[in-house]
Structure 1
């Protein structure tokens, strides 16, 4: 095996193993320990963050910021990755803000001049519009890491009514209309809740033992989120325009049913503590929807409308 090929495979091996000894690598690659030591020195000079540990159980380990081996991209693949990162530039906060900016600069810097010219032209002719929000969400990376590692965080949260401290175990984070949200298990209310990330004013690890939530993730969070709450049946007929308006709402997807003529209906369960949200949503649909049944929701709609009439009447 040539030296260049061995170095490439060695880089992939140390990233995969994370902890290893010179003897192990020498056996894996069929070379002497002295050769492996020289190779590791070269990898370190190339930027692979290696850390040596002394003692009877010592060896080497790769620090958290591991270097990935070189990856060959076609021009189209490189341009698509560039614009995937470029699409996030309108967000006030990102989980990996500095890293995504660094990746973008690297892609742009190492591209051929004609490809950079092409990107410059495309940047002026394509955009991914996201509402710009003033509120920042500085704890996104910590929330995402806690969701992956199954950790509990103690947060200070400012709802519309009050500010409180509580322990939560995040399921993940997602963005919608320029805002970030974190569905999580809340130990204060003993159930799943949805938190707006810009309302989280502080977050740090908690000593509360975590629950086993590995089976719950963003794609199946709704059943878990609803199961611990008292729900009310919802049924509403929709015009074709009403269907299109509901299609723009991610939460409505499991409840939305369409007919061949373009009309449809909403059918499902809504948590009782979200009456205000559903009332304002139904008001926003106007004549494009007709609510059937749901007396509690009807009363809340009238309450909201009475308030608007008082305000503007």
Structure 2
């Protein structure tokens, strides 16, 4: 166990330095005291690691020292090839590079591990796109990703829902996210982080203007907070529904997760139908969403939503009656 941790410690120092004992302890999920002992062990084993004091201090490796990637376990070799995202790499303009990297890694593995890696590639495939939607056209994605890698500002021309429908912005790109087959740019503008759908960027110009990344920024944490805030902002109201037993069963397939989660705490009434309170967006959007449930659900409240749904159904019935006649 300690040997594996020592290898991990060495890899962390190779990836970025200096690293303080507290930072290394957090990464390895051990105490700083354990890190001190491990640093001593590495030094005793001949690894040229040393510590620097001061504000910018920490542990470093002697300049130019690198170790080879060795000691992969079977599970690590399998996980290595599970981590591949061919479609994502292609979207970023790195498809051939990713494929070539995989070939080199595969060739470098011992025969036994190479066999296990091949088994993973033959048996598991990741398709990140959502059902019933083709991939979005994202011609500006390579430029945007270049700006992220190079830490340079980029000027974008962006299509918005609100007026004015097209706006120009100069932003500091901190990362890109692939969500259900759609790419998003996370960038800082005027000191605040914002999210832009890459498919709506109609022009992107990479500027010769470097910027300093926000030290505290973590892309994964930002995205998680963004999704939570997004749901809170768009779900501005609630609706009371009655769901048939079949409606309860099919709800996770017919409605978004936020509605399905809320419905899990519903109350079953005497006739077998379940009364639930679910979050909704604006009434116009809620009508479209709830029409999916058809006769499996009844809107009880608010009255405005009930009336709008009744109007939509009456209009549909009239249209079908005209066609039949």
1:177 pairs, out of 160, 166, 180, with 180
2:264 pairs, out of 252, 257, 263, with 257
Corresponding residue SS for 1:16: coil
- Per the alignment, residue 71 of structure 2 pairs with 72
Corresponding residue SS for 2:13: helix
* Distance of 1:164 and 1:179 partners within structure 2: 20
Gaps in structure 2 of 5+ consecutive residues: 1-8, 20-47, 52-61
How many matched pairs? Answer: 256
- Per the alignment, residue 267 of structure 1 pairs with 278
Shift of residue 198, structure 1, vs aligned partner: 1.7
- Per the alignment, residue 238 of structure 2 pairs with 233
* Native 8 Å contact 1:166 1:186 kept in 2: no
Question: Is 1:221 equivalent to 2:220 in the alignment?
Answer: no
For the aligned residues, what is the CA RMSD? 5.5
When normalised by structure 1's length, the TM-score is: 0.54
- Per the alignment, residue 286 of structure 1 pairs with 294
- Per the alignment, residue 53 of structure 1 pairs with none
Corresponding residue SS for 2:264: strand
Q: Deviations over 1:29-55 (max 9, x none)?
A: 8xxxxxxxxx75x65xxxx8xxxxxxx
Corresponding residue SS for 1:218: helix
* Distance of 2:194 and 2:303 partners within structure 1: 25
Gaps in structure 1 of 5+ consecutive residues: 1-7, 19-25, 30-38, 49-67
* Native 8 Å contact 1:93 1:136 kept in 2: no
Corresponding residue SS for 1:76: helix
* Distance of 2:248 and 2:300 partners within structure 1: 17
* Distance of 2:235 and 2:252 partners within structure 1: 29
Matches for 1:120-131 after TM superposition, within 5 Å: 120-131=118-129
Corresponding residue SS for 2:158: strand
* Distance of 2:119 and 2:14 partners within structure 1: 40
* Distance of 1:201 and 1:166 partners within structure 2: 10
Relative to 1, partners in 2 of residues 1:156 and 1:285: Cα closer, same or farther, differing over 3 Å?
farther
Q: Deviations over 1:65-94 (max 9, x none)?
A: xxx973632111111220221xx2345854
